[in-house]
Structure formats: structure tokens, C-alpha cells
Chains A and B, each alone.
Chain A
């Protein structure tokens, strides 16, 4: 047996795979559970977090909004302090 034949046999072995028969059932079960849990919620918290993580612009807007809110709050406190 030549070396490239053995290499080919090794690749064939790496490609061979046994999957438990219930695999797709287990995935679908997980999905149905997820759907059931999601049904009662108006906002899916996990989805909101994922949405924020996956959109850079949303992250930038949220950080900017938080920064502005913080600045306004500090400015207000300073203004109140100086006014008194």
C-alpha cells in the first residue's frame, strides 16, 4: 500500500461518522421548548441582548446615550450646587 493510499484511507476514516438516531428529535425538542417559553414573553431578553451584540451601531448609540445621560446628570448636579 502506497503512502498516498494510506493517507486517503485516513481521510475516509475521518469522514465516517455515526450519529445517534435521536439527534434531530433532540434538536427539535430544544427548539419547541424555546418556542413555548418565548410565547408568553412580549420581549425576549436573550434576543434583545443578541441584537445589541450583533449590531455595532446599536452598541454605539446605547453607549453614546448612556454617556450623554451621565453628562447631563453631572451637569445638573453641578448647576444645582452652583445655584444654591
Chain B
């Protein structure tokens, strides 16, 4: 954290190349987050480039007292993802593969079917629930940080995650078992 603030100070003092350290550190979570929120595999790297470019331009407005750099960067990522989704419905329902008929999760085919159903269920989640699910379950961010990114209370985040899991769970009534 302190090291990061030092890097940011260097960038603001004119050492542009130091920004590469931040890009290399956060490129994976940022691209992954965009990909999982927008379902847009093709343009997620372009959106991520825009995220880092915006972060660079607005770096002076980052206030370490108000939160971590990662939270600030993920907030930009969230906003860019929402904008990208507004511009283009990344994966329309007609593009989703046909549903299969497998009910047995104990073989490879059924596992693929399970994955496909989960992908489909995730893409059908309301945008707010999907973002929170991605941040909590896939990025493993603490609820407090997600609350800061989303600009809501921790209780709201918990409730959105519960609702997202419930929706995912109901998509799999055909399978025996449960989602923890």
C-alpha cells in the first residue's frame, strides 16, 4: 500500500514509466472483472486499456485517505464495464448455446453442461447482482471494498450476493446438490 502510494507520487511528479508497475500489477484482475461483468471476451482488453488510460489521466484525483488504489481503480473498471454494457449487449440470449438435456453432473459432458448453465445464469443476473457476485465470488474482494466500489452499504452487498446465489441455485434445480 505504502509502496503503491510512493509509485503514484512518482508518476504525479512526472515519472510516467512508473505507471507500468501499476498496469502490470492490476491488468489481470481488471481484465477478468470486465470479462466476467460484460461477457465480452473480444473487447475486454480494449475496455481495460481505457480503464488504465482514464486512471492515468485522473490519477491526481486519487485520495489515499478515502481508500485503497485498488478500490479506486476497480470503481473506474466498474463504471467502464457498465458503460460498455450499455453500448453493446455483449452476449445476447440468442447467442447462448442451446441447452442440453444432461442431468448427470458426474461426467465430463455433464460438467460442461453445468458450466454452460452457470454461464447462462450469470449472464441473466441483474447487472447489480452480477457485478457484486463477480467481485465477491470470483475476485474475492472483501464486502467493505465492494461496498465502496458500488457506493452502497455492506448490508446491501450481502443481500445482493445472497439474491445472486439464490438465482444461480434455482437455475440448477435439475441437479442434486447445492451451491455453498
Interface residues of A (CB under 8 A from B): 1-4, 6-7, 9-11, 13-15, 17, 19-20, 23-24, 26-28, 30-32, 34-35, 47, 50, 54
Contact = CB atoms under 8 A, between A and B. Distances in A.
Interface of B: 16-17, 19-20, 23-24, 27-28, 31-32, 35-36, 45, 48-49, 52-53, 56-58, 61, 105-106, 111, 114-115, 118, 137-138, 172, 175-180
A23 B172 CA distance: 37
Contact of A7 (B35, B52, B118): B118
B32 A15 contact: yes
Given A27-B23, A31-B19, A20 B45 contact: yes
Contacts of B48: 23
B175 A3 contact: yes
Given A26-B49, A34-B57, A54-B61, A17 B35 contact: yes
Contacts of A10: 114-115, 118
Contacts of B57: 34, 47, 50
B31 to A, nearest CB: 6
Nearest to A51: B61
